[in-house]
Amino acid sequence: MFADIALAVTSCGTAAATLYAHHLHRRLHTDPLTGLPNRTALYRALHRAQRRPGPARQVGLLLADVDRFKLINDTHGHRTGDAVLTSIAAVLASECRHEEIPIRLHGDEFAVLLTSVRGPAEVEQRASELRTQLAATHRIHGLPLAVTVSLGGTAAPARGATPSSLLARADEQMYGDKNARPVTTLPTAAPVARRRDLPREAA
């Protein structure tokens, strides 16, 4: 009898420890606002891609940030800014393919790790596609808000790539994209959205 009780207690403790470990792992690798994987998850995913068996492959990294995000925050309020980030995260999560991992790095900066690509041309094609999909009129608090993103990417042999080198090269391409085109923010719902935020911010 006592052995059965001890076994039950041990099993319960093991299950609780497993559940806690899973919860801790999720917190360490997930962005709390958007639910996307975070920077730590990016490093782990790149490491896994590098250890895959088979012929030499390339990995790609796309980097995106929201154009004039500070203006969105200042005009519409931080709650609206957070809603824009979660809306963009939802688009990335739905549009990324099987071997693509959407990531929120920090602030208004997102990344997509392409764990297996044929080369730079494929990365450029995906950058163009995702830029179009992200530059949409987002429904924020039930109101339309036009949002654009700057997006750039890079590719490198998987086994020679490091997170810092990929991020630096993708960042350079992203700012090249930002500087190559006019950046506009269309504050369609600015007065209304700001009024909606102010009472909540004051509360």
Q: Is 108 a catalytic residue?
A: yes
Catalytic residue among 67, 108, 177, 197: 108
The 3-state secondary structure of the chain reads CHHHHHHHHHHHHHHHHHHHHHHHHHHHHECCCCCCECHHHHHHHHHHHHCCCCCCCEEEEEEEEECCHHHHHHHHCHHHHHHHHHHHHHHHHHHCCCCEEEEEEECCEEEEEEEEECCHHHHHHHHHHHHHHHCCEEEECCEEEECCEEEEEEEEEHHHCCHHHHHHHHHHHHHHHHHHCCCCCCCCCHHHHHHHHHHHHHC
Active site residues: 108
